Amino acid sequence: MIKLIDILREAKQVGTLYHFTDEEGFRGILESNELLASYQNAAHVSLTRDKNGWHVGTSDNIFRISLDGDKISNKYKIRPYEWDELDRGSGNTESEEAVITDKITNINNYIIDIVANEETADILEVDLDEFQDLYPDLKII
């Protein structure tokens, strides 16, 4: 006999997802409590399963935000995504995930931790102390 508690425990298991961003993007996320799609009129917010994707798409990512994919999937649809000039959205790149929305609201509810890359911050002359004031649990690696 199936019990209600067993059904409730069978939630989606997406795991940890990551979002990499620069100084301006990180400040915007903290101030608005939202994670926006990477460009205007986009139908999704881009995340990845690759926690080491610091330089994907750009070399100025200073911050890695670790997010609870299980919680996100309870409110938003998530699907594999591939960004390629010839083949958009086929899902062939399993490390990329698209959250089907133009913004994830109340992002603080989904944050597991935030890490700053000190080497990149030094190269870009970004003062991480200011960000530790904004987000006291910021880890610096």
Residues 17-65 have pLDDT tens digits of 999 999 999 999 999 999 998 777 778 999 999 999 887 767 889 999 9
pLDDT reading at 7 higher than 70: no
Tell me how far CA of residue 3 lies from CA of 12, 13, 74, 75, in angstroms: 18, 20, 21, 24
Give the CATH number of domain 12-134.
3.20.170.20
How far apart CA 100 and CA 76 sit, in angstroms, is 6
CA torsion through residues 71, 75, 77, 82, sign: negative
Q: Can you read off the two tokens belonging to residue 69?
A: 């994919």
Are 45 and 104 contacting, i.e. CB atoms less than 8 angstroms apart?
Answer: yes
Tell me how far CA of residue 107 lies from CA of 66, 98, 120, in angstroms: 11, 15, 24
Residues 67-94 have pLDDT tens digits of 999 999 999 999 887 665 444 444 455 4
* Residue written as token pair 């620069």: 22
- pLDDT value, residue 84: 57
CA 56 to chain centre: 13
Q: Which amino acid is at 75?
A: K
Residue 83 per-residue DSSP state: -
Q: Is the pTM of this model over 0.75?
A: yes
How are beta strands 103-105 and 139-140 bridged, if at all?
unpaired
